[in-house]
Structure 1
Amino acid sequence: MMNDDDYYDESFLRKLFLTGINTRDPKARRQALDVICSVVETWKDALDLDDEAEQASDLLTRYLPTIVRWKTACPFKDVRAKCKEIVESLEGKAIKVPQLRHPGASAFIPESEVISVDTDDEGTRDLFIEAYLVDNRVSNMIRLMGYHPRYLVSFLQFHVYMMHQDGPLPVHLRHYIAILAAARHRCTYLISLCEANFLAYGGDPIWLEDPLRAPKKIRALNHINMILAHQPWLIKPDNIKDLLQPSSDSWSLSELTHALVILAHYHSLAGFALGCGLNPEIDSREGHVVSSPFSSESNSPPVATPRVATEPSSRSSQCEENDDDDDERSPVFASVTFQSVMEKLKQIENNPDDFDFEEPSTEELEKQFETETLASAELGDPHPVATGASYVSPRIAKYVEDPEFEHEDFAKRGDFSGVSTFRVQDFSWEDQGYSLANRLFPDIGQLLDDKFKLIVDLTYRTFGTNVEIDTTMFRSAIWNYIHCIKGIFHDDYNYGEVNKMLHRDIKKYIRNVTCFPERTIVNDFNLFLAGFHYTEKVHVNLLLLEARLQAELLYALRAIMRYMT
């Protein structure tokens, strides 16, 4: 039984709205929905009481966006129906109801092309339910990943284990570390999700208002977060040693490993979110506006003007670029590039003898690698004039230490850095990284390895409208090009294949999303391999996510191993 105090008790309300309907049991959901209805009715009636109106209004403002989200984005039909009733009852009392600021899951992909939460595909719908039961939502990010159910299975297993199940770090702290990681790329989408989870799991709101009031132990991660995100080759054993120095604010090795995996995961996830133009969730502060209730004639929120998935909002495709860039950003050029790659894949499969597959010497491979890193550096910064590279909004600035520090091409690191090429034959994921991660954070290495292998091998043998196409060489070129950008050399990969598979405009997109995702605009996404279906473009962005994640983990784990020895 509820008592009168429960209607205004923060702890009770947080638990009710976080986990109340997170169950497959219809009876338990119905009971929780009845309680939510009772709570909302109490708040609604209290608006007419002078001594309770302000508090009731504040609670409605805070929790009503969640109910509106459940109305359309909950995988359980009974929840959607009940929440619709609640919203309509509020509209009938002329209470202002939150409306989507940016309709659709993505600013880059039409909503009609995105998989619905109540999809008819039973397997995908069940995955959406699994995601909902953990995070209390089927996020826009999960909906896009739903294009690739096999990947989503592996992603959820890893993500749930790392962020919610037993581990070295408490759950609220994991989400705060994720905020710091997402902030490096100004990714308000992930920041908002992680702030909500941080509070839901008992985090101190003061840390969000003023990160300088977070414990010194957490703030000590800022430097390694910065270099891991933008120039991971700068990570040294001393960075690990400093964090492990015995003190009241020191980290244990298992805690630090957990934290580093979270940082690398959310750096890469920010690239995916921004590279796919994810729109804010309606219950985030950026995701809704509060105005007049929807009219009875239309239950649809107003259509927002197409935007770019980046800050500030003034950034647009009207960037000052040179003539070569203008050519590459034209639909005609993009179409020619797509056709060229597709024809090359067909030729390789049908006439492999026409291509030179002779194994280059190690010296030749190293020259190819150096040539590729130099060529990557010459691609330049994406949209440097229009975007304002160092801009950080006040919403994010509080989380970011040294916002001027960003990606610098590995080829430009200079002799003074003392940084040499990362050679996988000396420290690889398969031989050292996997086992070390598993030893310091049990099972995480296996979950990561499963995810890496799955995305590398994932194929539908399509290339746009073309079917039965072997895309192995194309996918391998993307993976190895990202590692090349990050200064990682594979002595068993022929870097000549990168130029065969990836035209300059494709390389630019890959580099931009991997290194400067906050500057991605809709034109970048639309013109990148213009013949691709949306599901294929999301597939490429998943490859970028995982290749970058592995690259960052290689640098971090190598530094840990060197510290330990």
Structure 2
Amino acid sequence: MIICANKMEYPLRTQCQRAHKQVMSGETERVSLLFTKALVSRGSVDAVSQQMASHPQYLESFLRTQHYILHMDGPLPLPYRHYIALMAAAQHHCNYLVYLHSAQFLRVGGDPLWLQGLQAAPPRLRLLDHINKVLAHQPWLTACSHIQTLLKAGEQCWSLAELVQAVVILAHCHSLCSFVFGCDTDADFVPLPKSTNGVPPIFCPLDAANGNTNSLDSSCDMVCLKERIQKSQEEREKREELLLQTQTLQQTDIEEEEEMMCFTDPTHFITDPDLCYQEFARREQEHFQVFRVQDYSWEDHGFSLVNRLYSDIGHLLDDRFRSVTTLPSTHSPDLKRAVWNYIHCVLGIRYDDYDYGEVNRLLERDLKMYIKAVACFPDATKTPVCPLSLAPLKPSERIHVNLLIMEARLQAELLYALRAITQYMIA
């Protein structure tokens, strides 16, 4: 009987192993497909997508949302969208995102002169400066009066639909800065001085081009992926060669645009360099009221408002929030919730039904310091910020923590902005 049991156990174990390989193969294929789509449409796979590749379910949701707000139907013209994203990234001195959106801004027909700095932008865009810096550094200061100023600014006024899309872009890019710095993407970024084919580049050069593929999870089939990348790149180069043969390029103008784009200085888009994150819970700031989720939540209030004013974005954002909390991880659900609620807490948002003693019980001091730094002042992580507790984690697990930080911060900024919009609408 024992022998028989062992014979039955072996094929069962084999089936489990095969099933696991099939799942891993499916995930690898999913990542490869996403990367191939990026190569065909953009000619490159950006470093952020490479970092997120260890969580393909989330990556797909993230790319879908980002593509929608930056490229699909919406009230704002495409150059405005990338310029707003650039303004948001500049608040955290994120060279990687400033470069990326400068390039895309030019690619969709943006005026190169605007890249000289915020003072060169149209007055309507300059009006966004205040809410941009407040959401980035002290979102609890977002008030109904800020919304009123934007919606009643005479000839330069914003429509409600335009403002909602702008707020979503700002919050998306602020939180993405946290991910970029948390994963050291900005530290490894070096702008490309000249494009090789006369076309403004879309993304910064990848470490993968130099043989550094550590940012990809080991489960990815690198051989298959590299073959697809090489094949897609060759096809793209052939198309571009044919295009160059049939068109006369104004090389001088292009070189001027590239020169301006490559040296876009984030500080030229910052009007208040002294504004930064401050402790919400300081005693002398007790006049700031705690944001209670029971009074205004994403599920009961924010989702319906943003979805009504900016069609379908609520569903896309909701899918991001859900996917990041359900990703496979060694972290327990309680620890994930502790990370999420801790980030909201340092940004002034509280849950009445949560025991905050769980935060101190589940999160080590070094991990709390890391989470707070990446969420609240990510550009300060250019210098070491006690990431000791993250060192033993696998790369994919560290990325998962950074994804939680990014999404919790995104939701917090949206809650503050949408509550202010709601207060304006019912005033």
Q: TM-score, normalised by structure 1?
A: 0.57
Q: For residues 400 and 240 of structure 1, do their structure 2 counterparts lie closer, same or farther at Cα, with a shift above 3 Å needed?
A: same
| Match 1:560 to one of 414, 421, 427 | 421
SS state of the match for residue 499, structure 1?
A: helix
The equivalent residue for 1:528 is 389
SS state of the match for residue 156, structure 2?
A: coil
> Following the alignment from structure 1 to structure 2, what is the Cα–Cα distance between the partners of residues 539 and 196?
28
- The answer (yes or no) to whether the contact 1:139–1:281 under 8 Å persists in 2 is no
The alpha carbon displacement at 1:243 in A equals: 0.2
- The answer (yes or no) to whether the contact 2:27–2:56 under 8 Å persists in 1 is no
For structure 2, which runs of at least 5 residues remain unmatched after alignment? 1-25, 197-208, 213-262
> Following the alignment from structure 2 to structure 1, what is the Cα–Cα distance between the partners of residues 194 and 370?
26
Cα distance per residue 1:497-542 (max 9 Å; x no partner): 1011011111100001011111214754752332210110011000
**Equivalence map 1:82-481=2 (5 Å):** 121-279=28-186, 284-285=192-193, 395-412=265-282, 414-415=284-285, 418-460=287-329, 462=330, 471-481=332-342
Give the structure with the larger helix fraction. Answer: 2
Cα distance per residue 1:329-362 (max 9 Å; x no partner): xxxxxxxxxxxxxxxxxxxxxxxxxxxxxxxxxx
The equivalent residue for 2:231 is none
- The answer (yes or no) to whether the contact 1:233–1:486 under 8 Å persists in 2 is yes
The equivalent residue for 1:503 is 364
Q: Residue type matched to 1:396 in 2?
A: P
Q: Residue type matched to 1:487 in 2?
A: G
Q: Residue type matched to 2:75 in 1?
A: P
> Following the alignment from structure 1 to structure 2, what is the Cα–Cα distance between the partners of residues 559 and 220?
17
> Following the alignment from structure 2 to structure 1, what is the Cα–Cα distance between the partners of residues 129 and 184?
26
Larger Rg: 1
The equivalent residue for 1:543 is 404
Q: Residue type matched to 1:529 in 2?
A: L
RMSD over aligned CA atoms reads 2.5
- The answer (yes or no) to whether the contact 2:147–2:424 under 8 Å persists in 1 is yes
- The answer (yes or no) to whether the contact 1:482–1:548 under 8 Å persists in 2 is yes
> Following the alignment from structure 1 to structure 2, what is the Cα–Cα distance between the partners of residues 556 and 491?
21
Q: For residues 214 and 497 of structure 1, do their structure 2 counterparts lie closer, same or farther at Cα, with a shift above 3 Å needed?
A: same
The alpha carbon displacement at 1:414 in A equals: 3.0
For structure 1, which runs of at least 5 residues remain unmatched after alignment? 1-118, 289-299, 304-392, 464-470
Q: Which has the higher contact order (CA 8 A, sep 6+)?
A: 2
Q: After TM superposition, what 4+ stretches of structure 1 lie above 6 angstroms from structure 2?
A: 300-303
The alpha carbon displacement at 1:459 in A equals: 2.2
The equivalent residue for 2:379 is 518
> Following the alignment from structure 1 to structure 2, what is the Cα–Cα distance between the partners of residues 252 and 285?
38
> Following the alignment from structure 1 to structure 2, what is the Cα–Cα distance between the partners of residues 547 and 242?
28
> Following the alignment from structure 1 to structure 2, what is the Cα–Cα distance between the partners of residues 492 and 141?
35
- The answer (yes or no) to whether the contact 1:192–1:285 under 8 Å persists in 2 is no
The alpha carbon displacement at 1:493 in A equals: 1.5
Q: For residues 250 and 183 of structure 1, do their structure 2 counterparts lie closer, same or farther at Cα, with a shift above 3 Å needed?
A: same
SS state of the match for residue 75, structure 2?
A: coil
Q: Residue type matched to 1:146 in 2?
A: A
SS state of the match for residue 511, structure 1?
A: helix
Count of aligned pairs: 339
